[in-house]
Each structure stands twice: as structure tokens, then as C-alpha cells.
Amino acid sequence: MSKREFGLIGYPLSHSFSRSYFAEKFAKEGIDDASYENHPIERIEMFPDLLQKIPGLRGLNVTIPYKEAVIPYLDALAEDAAEIGAVNTVKRYSNGELKGFNSDIYGFAETLRRFIPDSYKGGALILGTGGASKAVKYVCSKRALSILSVSRKRGEGRILYEDLHEDLLTDYQLIINTTPLGMHPKTDDFPGIPYQALTPNHYLLDLIYNPSETEFLKRGARQGSLTKNGMEMLILQAEKSWEIWNNPHC
């Protein structure tokens, strides 16, 4: 039986969560007609060659640094992926056409839905303005939360860390870390926010999943704030990718 092939493109791919996640999933669920491999390509220009070499490839995840760069190679984009300009899932149809999706949006939306009550109407303070922050911003704006980004660089709709005063945290009781600060192996790092102003009414969400409790979350927990890491989002986005590849209506 020829297997349906799936995989991940990015560079480098030394510490990829996806391959071991899908290997375990296939074993646990008795899925024996599928395989999932890493494809570390040094340049996105190598993408068409990869597709040619693996005709059985049905779907790909896309990670750093190609979530935006892959878009010109695709024939179609899901509406939300087009809106944020980032793709983390590619589906290859039997006629060879490629469509891009963004399952981080679903992963984050569902994580947020489970974490904060529907009644939450405060603001969302988003730390960092990189790739992952786009999905986070998109979801927060769909939930009609007012958004303020915090960045190391000046720009529209954002403030600098040094301008983040304690009283702002009264209006922004949801704080989402989309920076890599605190990620393994630099676990002592943390974003520079006024932690002393956090209260039990604050929600701290970290996209980082390794370690499971970052210094950012620890500092929030010490103030009595509710905290959550990025593991659930990671699993939700992987499962959403699998659904996209397998659902004939996608």
C-alpha cells in the first residue's frame, strides 16, 4: 500500500514537535496509511523541487522562516490565512493544486475560548509583533477585544516596553506573550512588564510550551493571576491541520 505522505518544511528543524506528535498519533490511532517527515529546506526556492520529488505528498506544515515566503508558491489561500498573510498548513489536492491555511488561528481561538470567559470585555496586551502575533491579533479582534501591542520598536498600534506603566494593566487584563523570551534553553528570560501590577483578575497566556511554566507565567502566578502555556494551542493546530488534509470539503 502506498502511503499518504505528510511533513514539515522550515529551517532548521532540529527541535520539531510535529513529527513526533504525528508519529505517536498514527501509532495510537492505528493510522497505517500515512507517514510524516521533516523536510528542512535551506531556501524556499527549493520548495517546487521537494513537491516534484515526493509525488505522494498530500499535506505540509510550514514553520519558521517560511510561513509568509511560501505564499507565492500556492494556488489558493483560505480567507483567514490571506487576511493575516501567513500559512502554516498546505494541502495538496489530487490535481496537484496547493492551498494554504493557517491552523494557528484555530489553535489560538480555541485556546482563548477555553481560557477566558465569554464575558471578558477587557483589552488584550500582546507582547511581540512577530509571526505568531498575527494569528493572536486576528483572533482577539474577531472577539472584539481592544488590542495593544508591546514591542522593542516604535510603530502604529504599539508601545515600547518602557512605556508600559502599571495603570495600563487595569484596562488590559489579558496579556499574551508571543515573544520567545523564556523559551528553552534560556528559561531565565522574561518579557519586561510591571508584574507587581498583576492581580487575580489577570489572565496570562504564553505561546511558549517548553518549559511548561515560563518565568513570565511564574511571575503572574505569584500575583495570583490565571496562567496558561502554549501546549494546548500546539496540539489544537496540529489536529486542525490533520482535519484539513483529510476533510474532502476543505
Ligand X SMILES: NC(=O)c1ccc[n+]([C@@H]2O[C@H](COP(=O)([O-])OP(=O)(O)OC[C@H]3O[C@@H](n4cnc5c(N)ncnc54)[C@H](OP(=O)(O)O)[C@@H]3O)[C@@H](O)[C@H]2O)c1
| Smallest distance from ligand X to CB 70, Å | 14
134 noted as active-site residue: no
Helix (H) or strand (E) segment spanning residue 24: helix 17-28
| Smallest distance from ligand X to CB 83, Å | 17
Asked if 109 touches ligand X (CB under 6 A), the answer is: no
- The separation between the first and the last C-alpha atoms of the chain, rounded to the nearest angstrom, is 25
Binding residue for ligand X, selected from 115, 131, 225, 227, defined by CB under 6 A: 131
Closest CA to 181 of 173, 192, 172: 192
Interacting residues of 75 by C-beta distance below 8 A, sequence separation 6+: 97, 98, 99
Binding residue for ligand X, selected from 7, 61, 71, 104, defined by CB under 6 A: 104
Piece of the chain touching ligand X by CB under 6 A; list 1-9, 116-124, 151-159, 195-203: 151-159
Three-state DSSP class for 172?
coil
Cβ proximity to ligand X: between 17 and 54 the closer is 17
Number of residues that bind ligand X (CB under 6 A): 24
Asked if 64 touches ligand X (CB under 6 A), the answer is: yes
Strand-pair partners of 6: 36, 59
Binding residue for ligand X, selected from 59, 100, 107, 123, defined by CB under 6 A: 107
Three-state DSSP class for 21?
helix
Report how far apart, in Å, the C-alpha atoms of 239 and of each of 11, 88, 232 are: 22, 13, 11
| Smallest distance from ligand X to CB 179, Å | 3
Site string for ligand X, 212-241 (x = CB under 6 A): ------------------x--xx--x----
Closest CA to 244 of 90, 105, 97: 90
Asked if 23 touches ligand X (CB under 6 A), the answer is: no
Asked if 209 touches ligand X (CB under 6 A), the answer is: yes
Contact positions with ligand X (CB under 6 A) in 152-181: 152-153, 178-181
Q: Are 26 and 36 in contact (CB under 8 A)?
A: yes
For residue 35, how many other CB atoms are within 10 A of its CB?
16
Cβ proximity to ligand X: between 33 and 156 the closer is 156
For residue 95, how many other CB atoms are within 10 A of its CB?
6
> Which residue is nearest to ligand X, using beta carbons?
130
Catalytic residues: 67
Residues binding ligand X (CB under 6 A): 64, 104, 107, 128-133, 151-153, 178-181, 183, 207-209, 230, 233-234, 237
